[in-house]
Structure formats: structure tokens, C-alpha cells
Amino acid sequence: MTVIANTLIVLTIVVGLLFTVVTVIGVLRLPDVYTRAHAASKSATLGVLSILVGTFFHFWLNEGYFSVRILLGILFLFITAPIGGHLMSRAAYFSGVKPTELTVGDDLAEVVERAKKEKQIN
């Protein structure tokens, strides 16, 4: 029983660490703010999530303490992380940060242009 518990804990924490490291590499390697938002908003979520799950299992199975706070933390992370990624990329777009040269298409640019023109007319 202890062996199974410890395997579970080690596995989840190692997966979490792996994804956190991938997040860091992604933020360093990817060319612009939008592609970095991909790496940061996804891998960081699952990374921190699995570390929290590992901690939860450790305290539950080895110490006999059922921590509801860790579960609530997981829930809050699930709700807030994608919103954070969305807001940062949106703020970057509307303050005029250009996407990389690799970008092949942009449907949002014309909408923003039209909105600007309408504002000038009014």
C-alpha cells in the first residue's frame, strides 16, 4: 500500500516538474508573446496542478490529513489560468505588439482597423 502511494506521489510530482521545465523552455524558445502565452498558460497549469495533486496525496496517504485547501487551490487554478493567458495576449494585441514573421494570417487586424476608423469619424 505504501509502495503504491509513494509511486503515485513520485509520478505526479515528476510529471509536474517536467511540465514546469517545459514551460520555462517554451517561454525562452518561442518567438513572440502569443506563442509564449500558449506555453505559459497550458504547461504551467498542468505542471502546478500535478505538483498540487502529488502534495495532496502525500498528506492524505502518508500523514492521514485530508487537505481540502489543496483541492480548492486546484479548482482556483483551473478557473484563473486560462483567463490570465487570454487577458495577457489580448492586452498585448491591443497595445500593438506585432506577431512574429512566421504568422500566416490575421483576421483580427481588419476588425481593429475598422474600429479605429469609426472612432476617428465620430
Binding site for another protein (CB under 8 A): 19, 22, 25-26, 29-32, 34-35, 37-39, 41-43, 45-46, 79, 82-83, 85-86, 89-90, 93-94, 99-100, 102-109, 111
The nearer residue to another protein, 62 or 86, going by C-beta atoms, is 86
Q: Is 26 left (phi over 0), alpha (psi -120 to 50) or beta?
A: alpha
Q: Whose Cβ is closer to another protein: residue 59's or residue 93's?
A: 93
Could you give the CA distance from residue 113 to residue 77 in angstroms, rounded to a whole number? 35
Closer residue to another protein (CB): 8 or 30 = 30
Q: Provide the minimum distance between the beta carbon of 95 and another protein in the complex, in angstroms, as a whole number.
A: 13
CB of 93 to another protein, least distance (A): 5
36: burial class by Cβ within 10 Å (0-12, 13-18, 19+)?
Answer: buried
CB of 89 to another protein, least distance (A): 5
* Nearer of residues 31 and 62 to another protein, judged by Cβ: 31
The amino acid occupying position 50 is S
Query: What's the chain's length in residues?
Result: 122
> Is the distance from CB of 45 to CB of 82 less than 8 angstroms?
yes
